[in-house]
Amino acid sequence: MALKFKKPLYICCPVWYNCFMSENKILEVKSLTVLIKDRFLLKNVNFSMNSGECYGLIGEDKSGKTSLLKAITGSLPISSGNILIEGKDIMQDNSVLNDVAICLDPPMFFKYQSVYENFKYLCSLNDDVNKEQIIKVLNKFNLAHKMKTKVLFLSYYEKKLMALALAFLTKTKLLLLDEPFKALPPDSVDEIKAHIEEIRAQGTSIIISARNLETIEDLCEKFIFMENRGIREVLTNNQCKKFDTNKTYAFLSVKYPHYTGKLIIDNFDLKVKLLGNKVLFEADEDTVADIVKFITNKKIAIYKAGYLSKKSEKIFANLAPYYKEDES
C-alpha cells in the first residue's frame, strides 16, 4: 500500500514533498519560468510525462537540471507558467505534492541519527509502515548491517542507497533523482541501476538527471536535453540513436564565444556552432592548432581545446544551429 503523508515532508535529501499523476499524464510542465533576483533559473520549459515512464535529464552543470527538479517539488517560486501533477496545478492545490520524492546530490539525512532512526522518523507520518517493513527494506538494499550506524559515518554511496530504499518503501509515484551515479565506481552504478528498476517496477515514474547520456541511456525511454536554463529538445531513445555521433567536432572553450566564432568564420572560412561557452567547428588537428594560435594572439582566453567525445555532447552539437553574426 502506498504511503500517504499527512503533510509534505521536508528533509535534507529525499525531500519528500507532495504528489502527482493524472489519467495518463503524471506530470505536465507548461511555459515554466523561474526568475530570482533578476537571474533566470529556468526559461520557458515545456514537457509532459506519462505515468510509469522514465525520463533522462541531460545537460552540463548549471544548465537548469537541478532547478527543474526543485521546481517540480514546489521548492522554487514560479515566476510564470504551470506545473500540473495528475492534472492539478501545484500552485493551486499543493496537496498533490504528497507522492513526489526528490533525492538531491549529495544525499542528506539527519546525520547525528542512525539509519533506522531516520527511517522511523520519516515513516512516522504514515500509519502503514512498521519496524518489520523498515528492516525488510534495509535488508533488500544491503543496509541492515548499518541500521544502528549514524548517518554521519556512512559513505556517499550508502547515503544514496538510503534515499532509494526510502523511495522503495514509500512506493512514491514520482521519483526525481539528481545525479544518482555521480562519483560512483562501475559496480556501485550497476547496483543503483538495479534498485532503480525495482522502484520503477512498482509503478513509479522517474526522472534522472545526468551530465552524460551514456550513463542512463539503458534506463530511460526519453531524454530532455537542457541548455542555458531551458530545453533544447526532447528526444526518444531511438531518436538519439539516429544522430550522427561519428561526426568530429573540435571545440574551444573561451571567454567570448560570439566574438571568437566570428573570428573563426572570417579568418578560416569554417562553419561554427555555439554551445554554452564552447565554439564548435569541423577541422583537422593542424587547423585546430592554427586556430588556437590565432585566437591566443588576439588576447582571448582559451580555457580548453579539443574534440567532443561524449555522445550527449555530439547530440547537443547536432541540435545546435550554425552561428550567424547577427546572433551576437
Question: In this predicted structure, what is the pLDDT of residue 307?
Answer: 95
Question: In this predicted structure, what is the pLDDT of residue 241?
Answer: 85
- Would you say domain 14-241 falls under CATH 1.50.10.10? no
Walk along the chain (328 residues) and give the pLDDT tens digit of each residue.
Answer: 333 333 334 333 433 333 333 358 999 999 999 999 999 999 999 999 999 999 999 998 899 999 999 999 999 999 999 999 999 999 999 888 887 988 888 787 999 999 999 998 887 766 577 889 999 999 999 999 999 999 999 998 999 899 889 888 888 899 999 999 988 888 889 999 999 999 999 899 999 999 999 999 999 999 999 999 999 999 999 999 888 677 889 999 999 999 999 999 999 999 999 988 999 999 999 999 999 999 999 999 999 999 998 889 999 999 999 997 655 5
DSSP 8-class letter at 116: H
Question: In this predicted structure, what is the pLDDT of residue 5?
Answer: 39
Question: In this predicted structure, what is the pLDDT of residue 18?
Answer: 37
Q: Look at strands 54-58 and 222-227 and give their pairing.
A: parallel
Asked if 243 and 266 touch (Cβ cutoff 8 Å), the reply is: no
As to burial, measured by CB atoms within 10 angstroms (0-12 exposed, 13-18 middle, 19+ buried), residue 312 is: buried
Q: How many helices (H) and strands (E) does the chain have?
A: 10, 15
Buried b (16+ CB within 10 A) or exposed e, 267-304: eeebebbbbbbbbbbebeeeebeebeeebeeeebeeee
Question: In this predicted structure, what is the pLDDT of residue 110?
Answer: 93
Question: In this predicted structure, what is the pLDDT of residue 154?
Answer: 94
Within the chain, where are the H helices? 65-72, 115-122, 131-140, 156-170, 186-201, 213-216, 237-241, 257-268, 285-297, 311-319
Question: In this predicted structure, what is the pLDDT of residue 327?
Answer: 55
Q: Is the dihedral of CA 312, 317, 321, 325 positive or negative?
A: positive
Asked if 273 and 315 touch (Cβ cutoff 8 Å), the reply is: no
The span from the CA of 200 to the CA of 174, in Å, is: 9
Within 202-241, where are the H helices? 213-216, 237-241
Question: pTM for the complete prediction?
Answer: 0.84
What are the boundaries of each domain within the chain? 14-241, 250-327
